[in-house]
Chain A
Amino acid sequence: SQQGEEDPQALSIQEGENATMNCSYKTSINNLQWYRQNSGRGLVHLILIRSNEREKHSGRLRVTLDTSKKSSSLLITASRAADTASYFCAVSGGGADGLTFGKGTHLIIQP
């Protein structure tokens, strides 16, 4: 299995602080993706990083990928209450089959 595993399982921080979540996976990948899920809703794509990329930015999001360690991290800077959600990493081998998801990190931003 290429399963991604997030760490920590839950994270609670104060508004304005930075939040870092980590993801590890088992086999070679074509790309790694991060998704956000608000309570009771579907997943929303945040960022995709390809296996030949090391870092990618999108607004307040920064993702790193270390293929030698089979790990990735998602950094959310200057957190806001609206960032409260579950965050999932998902890995893709690049084929037609679907993504393999981790169990997620539940992030709570305290006002």
Chain B
Amino acid sequence: NAGVTQTPKFQVLKTGQSMTLQCAQDMNHNSMYWYRQDPGMGLRLIYYSASEGTTDKGEVPNGYNVSRLNKREFSLRLESAAPSQTSVYFCASRQGYRQPQHFGDGTRLSIL
């Protein structure tokens, strides 16, 4: 019963490098989300995908791109990493708009 799986769990990048964070869910949920969490802060929405084939910007989309590869997978890409993107990134999914979200365990990303 995996739920939401995020890879990698940890990553260190240099400024200017690119990388893709992967997320997959096995609950057949329609909607998927990417959040970031900074120290002492709640989660802030980066991008979301209401259904397969659609993506929309959240509160803090600058510097990120996303791809909803299929119903299961939703990836987050940093094209040119900056130190301000050092954070913990969480992926979540939910079945319907008024249902709770299910979260992965996060990717801890440090950019030097």
Which residues of A does B touch, CB under 8 Å? 3-4, 30-31, 33, 35, 40-45, 48, 50, 88, 90, 92, 94-104
A42 pairs with B103, CB closer than 8 A: yes
Interface size class of B (residues with CB under 8 A): 20 to 34
How many contacts between A and B, using CB within 8 angstroms?
A: 70
B43 pairs with A97, CB closer than 8 A: no
Which residues of B does A touch, CB under 8 Å? 4, 31, 33, 35, 40-45, 48, 50-51, 56, 58-59, 90, 92, 97-106
A98 pairs with B104, CB closer than 8 A: no
A94 pairs with B90, CB closer than 8 A: no
Measured CB to CB, the closest approach of chain A to B49, in angstroms, equals: 9
B44 / chain A contacts, CB cutoff of 8 Å: 101
B56 / chain A contacts, CB cutoff of 8 Å: 96-97
Set A40, A41, A94, A98: member contacting B98, Cβ < 8 A: A94
Question: How many angstroms between the C-alpha atoms of A35 and B40 in the bound complex?
Answer: 15
